[in-house]
Structure 1
Amino acid sequence: MGVESVSVDPATKIALDVPVADAAIVPPPPSVAPDGGVRAWLQVLGCWLVFFNVWGFPFSFGLFQSYYELNILTGMSSSNISWIGTMTSYLLIVTGVLSGPWFDLGYYKVMLLGGAAMSCLGIMMLSLSSQYYQIFLTQGICTGLGCGVLYIPGLALVGRSFTRRRAMAMGIVSSGAPVGGIIYTITFDQVIDSLGFAWTVRVMGFIMLGSYLIAFPLLLWGTANTGDIASGTPRKLFDKSAFKDLAFWMYTWANFFLFCGYMVPFFYMPSYAQFELHMSRSLSLYAVVIAQGVSVIGRLLASAAALRVGVMIPWLTCGTLSAILCLAWIGIHTPAAFLVYAALYGGFSGALIPLPPSIFPVVCPDPKILGARLGMAQAIGATASLIGSPIAGALLGLGGHGYLGLQLWTSLIMLVGSLFLVGLWITLVKRRECNILI
């Protein structure tokens, strides 16, 4: 995806095409992989439906954040409520690090059925929940674990079916995440008044169940690339030599600080629109829909730019502009300006998803340890996703300044991430003694 030509063996190539927020270590493809065909593209469609749920539902947590604050959990702080959504994302990523080796050992069918059952169960039990601990267990933990079991093996299945077209296939699969977020957000808005919270959540659960039932035959029918219990070998999950690699740490901390702030606007846009701008619930939710929709365009444009000028320039540009937009959020006081902000933030921040994994082969050129180091970096990044929004929520209303603390935190923490990107860029140029287009 960048202009830098990196020689990577087939056992690691698949790990390079996974979006960072969706990424962990992906199992290696077979030594001779096909490159498409009807069977492979049906798997792409099936995995798109999986991503529609496993990232689309967590992406829609902003609507739950706002609804919980106004209705169900009125006595809880914004910070405490946000732990529910961040726990979902955290478990999704961390469980994904472990589900890759399970896929290698041939347990994909078990994980597909078990993960789908657990995530649907979590949503259905959420419809019966009214206390904080109940919502945390169902939406935060049960749904997070179920989704985490699903997403990396799905990418692995698709990756084993492509060689030259793998990046295209992975890009299509990852687009299911924002589309799912949009559909779940619109569904919630359209039925909450007529059906109430319990049945609205059940409708969302039926959407998830129905899409999984469509995805199962597409993913499993006539396929022979779901791992091999007899010969599968788990990958190395830890490489202590990474702790001595400056480029690894620059990459890891850049992602950590960027993702401390990345999800904050998506979580708090609806509540900000309703509390500060007095927008209707529907319009405030559509601000998130706009941001998610434009993020798809941002991902595509950033990937296209990376092909021409390398990854570092668009990555640094989009990270810095996302931070500046969060700072500009402080000066927004009208609904029209807020919707423009939502679109711009969605577009620029969306680029932070596909770019980091494509530069990782330059950060770690040794294919034997690339998977282990990428998994380590993603585990640290998952922690950022866990703590970023709760910290921002704890700053909400601090000193009677409304959302100012939250906005400053988001902007400054992402600027720190951009500074680490500059350090990474300099480190890679010096190490490789090449031009600045990396």
Structure 2
Amino acid sequence: MPSESEPQMLYTAPQQDKEGSETLEGSNFAKDSNLSSHPHEFPEGGLAAWMTTFGAFLIQLCGFGYTTSFGVYQDFYTQHYLTNETSSAISWIGSLNTFLVTAVGLISGSLYDRGYFYHLVIAGSLLQSFSLFMLSLSKPDQYYQIFLAQGVGLGIASGLVYVPSIAVVSHYFRRRRTLAMTFVASGSSLGAVIHPIMLNNLLNGRLGFGNGVRASAGFVSVLLLIACLCMRTRLDPPMTPANYIVAAKKCIRDTGFYYPLFFIQLDSIKHGLSVTFSFYSLVILNVSNCVARVTSGFIAAFTGVPNLIIVATISGGVLILGMIGLSSLASVVVLGVMYGYFAGLCKWFFSTGIWKLDRWAPVPFFASNSNSLTGTPISGALLTSNYTWWIPAVFSGVS
């Protein structure tokens, strides 16, 4: 057992009982009561464990995966739907959404510790579905409608489900937790591939904005329903919930990370590349991001996590500076693939490695995303209506 001076880890205990492990290994939803009777054992598998992990995967696909697809909306709003607004003002919608995912996560993490898992995931899923359907009713050049539905509503909804859906996986895995977390984290990357393809074809196709967003909302709602049906808790809440908000005051922040995610599609179009190819520029970046999250664990085993993160963050900053020279199809592909991969390595650390901290995991994750609130709006303001691309690239790359 850890000493009183050490931070208590969530739901861990060193004792292992062979007979209990064998009982839990063959667990399923009909035997959840058996799982609960052995709170100090980790099944490390079984139907209940992997169904819960799959549910968390779907939550990430619909939550953070949708949030990081905002580059499609940034392009569409700038050119067609919010033409009276600046790029900076439009960026506030996506940046607030991103910020609220992790900011609300500090609150939902605390509520999760108090035993409100099912309340959070059900309420968050319903709010996400409601917010997307309300977004579909937004009218052109009605900025406040889109800001409230997508920036505020969708951000709060994703924040309610984000931390609980990942934390519940730790009920079932200890030795194989990195494997399970890597699978869950890949959900956001896969979502960031699926949603841009769907949204670009829906918004710019025959359906238009309203019906296109409603089709997207229906797809997300079905996946969230499946996720809620899959996930199950196994352990009782801890005796002393962690105070995430106090701990978060000591954390550092990141500014330039989301610039390529928000602006690469618009950047491609404004540099005269074909609209069809530009629609897939964000997809290229996110596919590479997904590959990085899957392979990063194997690379870290040889390089060590600190060395991997140092190389990834420095390389990411250099590649953002490289967006100054973005002007051709080849440059978009190269920058998209390389930045997507190094960004994926960074996010792997926060999505899998940092979650080994269990109860304290929301704190550094919040710190890593908190400056997304101001980073992209500043980049949008530096871009100006004249689309001076080198200024926001320098700002974001140096940051």
Give the TM bin, normalised by the shorter chain.
0.7 to 0.9
What SS does the aligned partner of 1:297 have? helix
Match of 2:217 in 1: 205
1:187: how far off?
A: 0.9
- In structure 2, C-alpha distance between the alignment counterparts of 1:391 and 1:74, rounded to whole Å: 19
Match of 2:30 in 1: none
Instruction: Map 1:258-297; keep pairs closer than 5 Å.
Output: 260-280=255-275, 282-297=276-291
Match of 2:201 in 1: 190
Pick from 367, 380, 383: which aligns with 1:393? Answer: 380
Pick from 332, 339, 344: which aligns with 1:345? Answer: 339
Task: Spell out, residue by residue over 1:219-266, the C-alpha distance to the aligned partner (whole angstroms, 9 max, x if none).
Answer: 14xx544x45xx7542233567x98xxxxx7xx43xx23xx1111101
User: Within the alignment, does 1:174 sit opposite 2:168 as a pair?
Assistant: no
CA 382–13 in structure 1, closer or farther in 2 if over 3 Å, else same: farther
CA 47–287 in structure 1, closer or farther in 2 if over 3 Å, else same: same
Q: Normalising to structure 1: TM-score of the pair?
A: 0.78
CA 295–118 in structure 1, closer or farther in 2 if over 3 Å, else same: same
Give 4+ residue runs of structure 1 displaced > 4 Å after superposition: 7-10, 356-362
CA 105–239 in structure 1, closer or farther in 2 if over 3 Å, else same: closer
Q: For residue 330 of structure 1, what is the amino acid of its counterpart?
A: I
1:44: how far off?
A: 0.9
Match of 2:317 in 1: 323
1:325: how far off?
A: 1.1
Q: For residue 220 of structure 2, what is the amino acid of its counterpart?
A: M
Pick from 286, 304, 307: which aligns with 1:313? Answer: 307
Are the equivalent residues in 2 in contact too, given 1:106–1:232 (CA < 8 A)?
A: no
Q: For residue 298 of structure 1, what is the amino acid of its counterpart?
A: A
User: Within the alignment, does 1:165 sit opposite 2:160 as a pair?
Assistant: no
Q: Which runs of 5+ in 2 are unaligned?
A: 1-5, 14-37
Q: Percent identity?
A: 29
- In structure 2, C-alpha distance between the alignment counterparts of 1:232 and 1:95, rounded to whole Å: 22
CA 144–167 in structure 1, closer or farther in 2 if over 3 Å, else same: same
Q: For residue 311 of structure 1, what is the amino acid of its counterpart?
A: V
Are the equivalent residues in 2 in contact too, given 1:56–1:178 (CA < 8 A)?
A: yes
Aligned-CA RMSD value: 2.6
Pick from 376, 401, 411: which aligns with 2:397? Answer: 411
Match of 2:152 in 1: 141
Are the equivalent residues in 2 in contact too, given 1:11–1:30 (CA < 8 A)?
A: no
Q: Which runs of 5+ in 1 are unaligned?
A: 1-6, 15-28, 244-248, 414-438
Instruction: Map 1:23-172; keep pairs closer than 5 Å.
Output: 30-130=39-139, 131-172=142-183
- Count of residues in Structure 1 that have an aligned counterpart in Structure 2: 367
Task: Spell out, residue by residue over 1:99-150, the C-alpha distance to the aligned partner (whole angstroms, 9 max, x if none).
Answer: 1221222211111111111011100000011210110000010111111110
CA 333–146 in structure 1, closer or farther in 2 if over 3 Å, else same: same
- In structure 2, C-alpha distance between the alignment counterparts of 1:91 and 1:358, rounded to whole Å: 20
1:401: how far off?
A: 6.5
